[in-house]
Structure 1
Amino acid sequence: MAKAKQSYIDIVEEFPSEFHKPLLRLVDAIMERVRMEFAVRREDFDELRSAISELTQAQKRTEDRVEELADAQAKTEMRVEELAQVQKRFEKHFDLQIGALGSRWGLKTEESFRAAAEGILGEDFGLHVERYQAYDEEGEVFGRPDQVEIDIMIRDDKITAIEIKSSMSKYDVYAYDKKVSFFERRNQVKVDRKLIITPMLDPRAEELVKTLGMKVYSSCYDWGDEEQELK
């Protein structure tokens, strides 16, 4: 700064002597103004340091809060996983219970439907349907030794096999055809007609029914009316 001031004095001395003092005062005023403009006041520095301190503390609180949230999220995820495992165990147990209940209900429904259908055929149409039962030691029907049951009606020396079920799948149709063949071999007879009475036939079994020469009735009344017309 002293060197710069000396340079200004050298320049001022080039002017006439009566201008020296005014010019020096002007130069000093300009330099003081510049110093004040660019100097950092102590108050400003203290305010800046205080603001930085507050920002540092705020950042620390934010980091602590983020860490707390991360811990809470980890605990929540663990809890969700525990609940998912509990739900899986419950669903498995529930499915087993429903499956067992459904099996028992299905058997009861099948028996009720068969009893009702046979009752209608006998009481409303005077058609006697006998229940043929025999044990299949060789497993011809089901691939293993098992009891074979099939409804048979004999009229005018014509043998009609009847399968009465509340629902009929493609597998049921195959099994029914094997039961008819088993009955024919065991009794050395020929079944003239193979009928199915069911309100629900699996659409995938329709073509198989035609191929095996069977006829399906959605109600025992449909078949009973037809039989009455043939008398």
Structure 2
Amino acid sequence: MAETFPRRSEVEQALAQILEHLVALREDFNRQFALQSQRMDALERRLEVVEQQLDAFERRMEELRQDFNQQILRLTERHEALEQRVDRGFARVEAMLGAMGARWGLMAEEAFRSGMAGILQDQFGWQVEHVLMMDADGVVFERPDQVEIDIAIHDGAHWLIEIRSSMSKADMYTFVRKVEFYERLRGVQAARRIVISPMVHPQARAVAESLGIEIYTSIYDASPHLRKREKSPTD
């Protein structure tokens, strides 16, 4: 059987077709590669933009953080300054209230004293004297100081009266020492020792009862007792 071979022209034609196909594949590959390169370039540019935006965002966040810290620091300083102002304000208010309370106490005691003196002088004819004595040896207050007996009544009999807005246990003992100092200084014996105060501590009452001190919560409570004793034939 005789072998048959393709003609040269057929071989050349087939090779030409293969080359054309390879060229087409290469061109298509180059186009795809170029397209992918463009896409990669675009992606890189977008990534660069994103990175720049992230950098800007980080810088902005850092600025905001620093600004926030500064604001917190300023608020803390203002808060501390405000606390100090409030503390100073409360201290001033407390001082004012204390001064007002002390002033009210002095005014109330002076009102008591004046009222009592007026009643005793006008209604009972008692001689009223507000006594101030210098205790150079510190017998009453354990140091040299002026001793005050709110009202000393003497017309043959001496009544020593302490008038205060409030009376504590210590105040009661102080009154006793003031009476004893008055008696020793004047050389007399107090006929009655009287405390007139709207606020007397229970412990102060116990001391008064044990020492024979009369307690009245107002001038109106004391007045009937004064009138009764004033009319007594034994006085």
TM-score, normalising length from structure 1? 0.64
Instruction: Give the whole-Å Cα distance in 2 for the aligned partners of 1:202 and 1:164.
Output: 14
| Residue 223 (structure 2) aligns with | 224
Instruction: Give the whole-Å Cα distance in 2 for the aligned partners of 1:71 and 1:220.
Output: 65
Root mean square deviation of aligned Cα: 3.5
Does 2:148 align with 1:152? no
| Residue 114 (structure 1) aligns with | 113
Residues 85-164 of structure 1 aligned to structure 2 (within 5 Å): 85=84, 106-123=105-122, 125-126=123-124, 128-131=126-129, 132-150=131-149, 151-154=151-154, 159-164=158-163
| Residue 53 (structure 2) aligns with | 54
Name stretches of at least 5 consecutive residues in structure 2 with no aligned partner.
1-35
Instruction: Give the whole-Å Cα distance in 2 for the aligned partners of 1:168 and 1:86.
Output: 36
Is the 8 Å Cα contact of residues 108 and 165 (structure 2) preserved in structure 1? yes
Instruction: Give the whole-Å Cα distance in 2 for the aligned partners of 1:181 and 1:75.
Output: 64
Question: Deviation of residue 195 (structure 1)?
Answer: 0.9
Using a 3 Å threshold, how does the CA distance of structure 1 residues 211 and 129 change in structure 2: closer, same or farther?
farther
Question: Deviation of residue 100 (structure 1)?
Answer: 5.7
Does 2:71 align with 1:72? yes
Question: Deviation of residue 49 (structure 1)?
Answer: 5.0
Instruction: Give the whole-Å Cα distance in 2 for the aligned partners of 1:160 and 1:130.
Output: 10
Is the 8 Å Cα contact of residues 121 and 220 (structure 1) preserved in structure 2? no
Residues 140-197 of structure 1: CA distance to partner in whole angstroms, max 9, x if unpaired?
1122333333233357x65432112233233322221101111222344333432101
Question: Deviation of residue 217 (structure 1)?
Answer: 0.3
4+ long deviations beyond 6 Å: none
Is the 8 Å Cα contact of residues 172 and 208 (structure 2) preserved in structure 1? yes
Residues 87-120 of structure 1: CA distance to partner in whole angstroms, max 9, x if unpaired?
5556666666666666556544432331122212
Question: Deviation of residue 134 (structure 1)?
Answer: 3.3
| Residue 26 (structure 1) aligns with | none
Is the 8 Å Cα contact of residues 168 and 202 (structure 1) preserved in structure 2? yes
| Residue 213 (structure 1) aligns with | 212
Residues 39-58 of structure 1: CA distance to partner in whole angstroms, max 9, x if unpaired?
99635565555444433322
Instruction: Give the whole-Å Cα distance in 2 for the aligned partners of 1:197 and 1:106.
Output: 13
Instruction: Name the aligned partner's letter for residue 190 of structure 1.
Output: Q
Is the 8 Å Cα contact of residues 164 and 198 (structure 1) preserved in structure 2? yes
Comparing 114-123 and 60-69, the one that deviates more: 114-123
Instruction: Give the whole-Å Cα distance in 2 for the aligned partners of 1:81 and 1:53.
Output: 41
Report the structure number with the largest CA radius of gyration: 2
Is the 8 Å Cα contact of residues 152 and 161 (structure 1) preserved in structure 2? yes
Secondary structure at the residue paired with 1:209? helix
Instruction: Give the whole-Å Cα distance in 1 for the aligned partners of 2:73 and 2:51.
Output: 33
| Residue 8 (structure 2) aligns with | none
Q: Give % identity.
A: 34
Instruction: Give the whole-Å Cα distance in 2 for the aligned partners of 1:200 and 1:127.
Output: 28
Instruction: Give the whole-Å Cα distance in 2 for the aligned partners of 1:185 and 1:113.
Output: 26
Instruction: Give the whole-Å Cα distance in 2 for the aligned partners of 1:105 and 1:219.
Output: 16
Using a 3 Å threshold, how does the CA distance of structure 1 residues 76 and 208 change in structure 2: closer, same or farther?
same
Using a 3 Å threshold, how does the CA distance of structure 1 residues 87 and 222 change in structure 2: closer, same or farther?
closer
Is the 8 Å Cα contact of residues 112 and 219 (structure 2) preserved in structure 1? no
